[in-house]
Structure 1
Amino acid sequence: MADQPESYSHPPQSGILARIRGVAPTLTATHSRIAEAILADPATVAGSTITELAERCGTSLTTITRFCRELGLAGYPELRLALAAEIGRTDSRPPQDPALIAFSPEDPMSAVLRSLLVTDLHAMEETAAQLDLAAVDRAVSALVRARVIDVFAVAGSAGVAMDLQLRLHMIGRPCVLWTDVHNAICSANARDHRDVALAISHTGTTAEVVEPLRIAKERGATTIALTNFPRSPISDVADIVLTTAAQDTPLRAGAQAARHTQMLVLDCLYIGVVQRTHDASQRLHATASDALVKHRLPNR
């Protein structure tokens, strides 16, 4: 059974806005109106009664309660607490002005740099707040036990996946990145209960990634998905679902927007593996570094 959002193990105050954005594409029209009202003005909703929110959204009290339960919350009081906690966290940092995430041809590079810094830091903070650490722990355990680790990723997600593959190789973990769907399917077909398949897709809808993960699951491998949208198709074929909280911006959409948040989660997995295999990992890392010294040019 996948670690789906219906059974959140992190506290309700963790990343509630990111959680709402993550499930937004799968919400009904009525629930979408509620989500939009919350995302547009979380502070007002945190201070509103359930009746006030229902009137604002043109819906019933029962529907508001159902929406809360769809987020894994007990009810509206818990939603208000979660929103208040998140507002308290964000009050200490500069507001994310929408103007900061848009670029114009006239912008100086200093403005571009600040925009990138604000959006990336915000996305990483939200990812950390909503990340299910129990799921991360299960993923690390699976990676440590794995005979073979297959990683499926394409396009922008392949860049962060390659970094993970190289680092795991350096500490002796048998990890292979597949970016071609035909090769990925062939490798997935050869997996069994001793193996792990990790798929990375920002949208969770990339067929070239979802299909090999599905095959690996059918063959008995432990399957892990890293996505921004926990109710996307990739989650249906994953035993463990890890989520990011990136937001698309005008010039950075999809995997481009998610790159730093994906790397944050993959760093957690890598460090977790190193912690559990510390002596062997340290030894292999040191000997690999020594072996690579002769390939470095001297400094001037």
Structure 2
Amino acid sequence: MSSNVLGKSRKVMVTMNSLRDSLTPAEKRIADYVIDHSIQVTKLSIAELSHAVNVGEATIIRFCRTLGLKGFQEFKMELAIENSNSQQNERSILDSDIAHNDSAELIGQKLQNTINNVLSETLSLLNFSTLEQVAQTIKQCKGIYFFGIGSSGITAEEAKNKFMRIGFNVDALNNNHFMYMKASLLQKGDLAIGLSHSGSAVETIKALRLAKESGATTVALTHNPRSNIASQADFVLINGNRQGHLQGDSIGTKISQLFVLDLLYTLIVKDDVVGSQHRKLKTTKALDS
């Protein structure tokens, strides 16, 4: 698995939220305290933060390095910059949770804001070098196989549609039996892409593991770069998670997954615009006839 799964334009708060489920109990205490007291933390010494969260200074330093930072001073600097930028944003519709007395227009504004936030968060978390490597792998592979269950399975079907339209040998599987059978038959030169927002979908994890054991290249698209599905992947792509509590994955998760897949699609098309247009026209004509 690629060791640097987070993008260079990472944000401290976004990265902490992405990694939270895979942090140790001590690291979670640090993360929770920073999230709740982000402005105050920028003014604390490492000894003061250590006392506040009841962990050793060495644990704080390891926590900072887990976020991709060199140490506590860089952590405080990045956090201060992020706090400053956040305070400059308009606050009127930043709370994307839907209230009972919201008008239809305000709900629309909140949902639009949710989409903007989740796309910004995804751009902060993505490693674009890894994204480009995956795009190159797609162009060279014999077949692409998307694995996902639930709403991730729906996203996998949408990806299948996009990549088939420009001429790729592609399939999407969301039934665990079919996923396991197909994964076990993959070979070197095939590409398996597992979609799991939480990174803990046992069916998708097993499918990706079987694909890897069969010799296929594996990719995980997840919000948690230290999740179980990431451990089965040669490449890890991170999607954002900024959404209101009442919206679920109907907006946030699906939009962020589709955004990453569309980035891959666009990277591939831009290197072969004429060929991609020709193949897409052929498939369009086939549907019209």
What is the TM-score normalised by the length of structure 1? 0.88
Contact 2:5 2:126 in 1 (8 A): no
Q: Does 2:49 match 1:80?
A: no
Q: Does 2:20 match 1:10?
A: no
Structure 1's 104 and 40: CA in aligned 2 closer, same or farther, altered over 3 A? same
Paired positions, count: 289
Partner of 1:204: 199
Tell me the distance in 2 between the aligned counterparts of 1:9 and 1:201. 17
Tell me the distance in 1 between the aligned counterparts of 2:184 and 2:141. 16
Which of 17, 22, 36 in structure 1 is aligned with 2:18? 22
Structure 1's 125 and 291: CA in aligned 2 closer, same or farther, altered over 3 A? same
Contact 1:246 1:257 in 2 (8 A): yes
Q: Does 2:54 match 1:54?
A: no
Given residue 146 of structure 2, which amino acid in structure 1 is its aligned partner? Answer: V
Secondary structure in structure 1 of the residue aligned to 2:244: coil
Alignment of 1:1-300 (within 5 A): 2-4=1-3, 7-8=4-5, 10-11=7-8, 14-95=10-91, 100-247=95-242, 249-254=244-249, 256-293=251-288
| Cα deviation digits, residues 173-200 of structure 1 (max 9, x gap) | 1110001111111111111111000010
| Cα deviation digits, residues 233-276 of structure 1 (max 9, x gap) | 10110110001120453222357531111111111111112123
Q: Tell me, which stretches of 5 or more residues in structure 2 are unaligned?
A: none
Tell me the distance in 2 between the aligned counterparts of 1:251 and 1:238. 31
* % same residue: 26
4+ long deviations beyond 6 Å? none
Contact 2:6 2:125 in 1 (8 A): no
Q: Tell me, which stretches of 5 or more residues in structure 1 are unaligned?
A: 295-300
Structure 1's 56 and 77: CA in aligned 2 closer, same or farther, altered over 3 A? same
Contact 2:93 2:110 in 1 (8 A): no
